[in-house]
Amino acid sequence: MQWDDGGAVDGLVEFRTGDGAVVAVEAVEERSGSRLVSRGDGTVQATRTFEGALDGVRSAAESALRVFRDGSLKPDGVEIEFGVKLSAETGAFIAKGTAEGHLVVRLTWSPAGPETSPAS
């Protein structure tokens, strides 16, 4: 498959959502040695629903949030950012952004409000 500008693309994977909508994503190359059969346009039908493909990533995000919220730091806000790749067979997985991986965590604290003096 090629984009209009001539750049090559491996193909697309189509995921269905629970309500029947189709979500098409750029395919990642599978390293398992097996190859899925695609339609003539290079599109492959995923074996899972979109929500099912994201289950593992959601669990990873929930675990990471629990680690940072329940620790001694007690931030007012936790923001976790990571890239996700989708595969027709594997589903979703956290993508590496560098040789080591990609995970950005931001913890925020709000300044304490002004102290009120006790009424006498």
- The Cα–Cα gap between 27 and 4 comes to 17
pTM tops 0.85: no
pLDDT in tens, 45-54: 888 888 988 8
pLDDT digits (tens, 9 = 90+) for 78-111: 999 888 887 777 777 777 665 566 778 899 999 8
Q: Looking up tokens 């993508």, which residue turns up?
A: 95
What is the arithmetic mean of pLDDT over 103-120?
74
| SS3 label, residue 23 | strand
- Is residue 14's pLDDT more than 90? no
Of the candidates 107, 104, 89, the residue with the CA atom closest to the CA atom of residue 31: 89
What's residue 75's pLDDT?
92
Task: Report d(CA 14, CA 44) in Å as an integer.
Answer: 6
| 2, two tokens | 């090629």
